[in-house]
Structure 1
Amino acid sequence: MAVITKFVVVREGVEKMTFTSKKEADAFDKMLDIADNLLPFIEQAQLGLDDDALEKLSFYLAENKDQLMGLLKGGAVTKPAAVKKASKKTESKA
């Protein structure tokens, strides 16, 4: 019998993602925190976006925070790194 350690990110009682390493789970949790903090900031812009679009935009910016930080510092646009979802983490269907 094998023992498998899983790290689960839970938000408001809902499982969001499962990871095989604590480092990945912590990084995803931090990204969700950033997205949560971006949401009210973007809402202040009064862009007329619906809640779903605001949430997607917040998540996208948080997911690509490193590239965004470079752009805010005056850097050039670079192609975002590919996300490796299949091998290291799986989405929960809760």
Structure 2
Amino acid sequence: MAVEVKYVVVRNGEEKMTFASKKEADAYDKMLDLADNLGEWLQQAPLNLDDEQRDGLSFFLAENKDALGLILRGASPAETGKKPTEAKAKKTASNSKEGSASEKQAA
């Protein structure tokens, strides 16, 4: 007989999702916290969203928080498909190229 350890995320007495690792369960729980906070914030928006729309939107934004962060920092929506580390590497590379060009001008 095998023993399996499962981590269950429970919200308001309802099982939301089951995971094989604590790390995944904690990440999902954190995402649900973010979705709850976004839902409360969206209630203040000057939009007429019903509860289902607001919950769906807040869950979508929480699931895509990395892409949302990039957009809020000024990245174009097309760039949000890239991993944040790729975007940072691209930015660092362009900054180092600019620095070397300015050093050439100063010389």
> TM-score scaled to structure 1, two decimals?
0.81
Contact 1:64 1:80 in 2 (8 A): no
Contact 1:6 1:21 in 2 (8 A): yes
User: What are the superposed Cα offsets for residues 12-49 of structure 1, whole Å, 9 maximum, x if unpaired?
Assistant: 11110000000100000000000000012111112101
Identity across aligned pairs (percent)?
Answer: 60
Unaligned runs of 5+ in 2: 84-107
Q: Give the structure with the larger strand fraction.
A: 1
> TM-score scaled to structure 2, two decimals?
0.72
Structure 2 match to 1:29: 29
Unaligned runs of 5+ in 1: 82-94
Larger RCO (CA within 8 A; separation ≥ 6): 1
What is the correspondence of 1:32-71 to structure 2 with a 5 Å cutoff? 32-71=32-71
Q: Give 1 or 2 for the bigger CA radius of gyration.
A: 2
Q: Give the structure with the larger helix fraction.
A: 2
* SS in structure 1 at match of 2:4: coil
Query: Counterpart of 2:36 in structure 1: which amino acid?
Result: D
Deviation at 1:79, TM superposition (A): 3.3
The match for 1:79 among 81, 94, 100 is 81
The number of aligned residues is: 81
Q: Structure 1 pair 14/80, CA: closer, same or farther in 2 (3 Å)?
A: farther
Contact 1:34 1:62 in 2 (8 A): yes
Q: CA RMSD, aligned part only? A: 1.5
Moved >2 Å (runs of 4+): 78-81
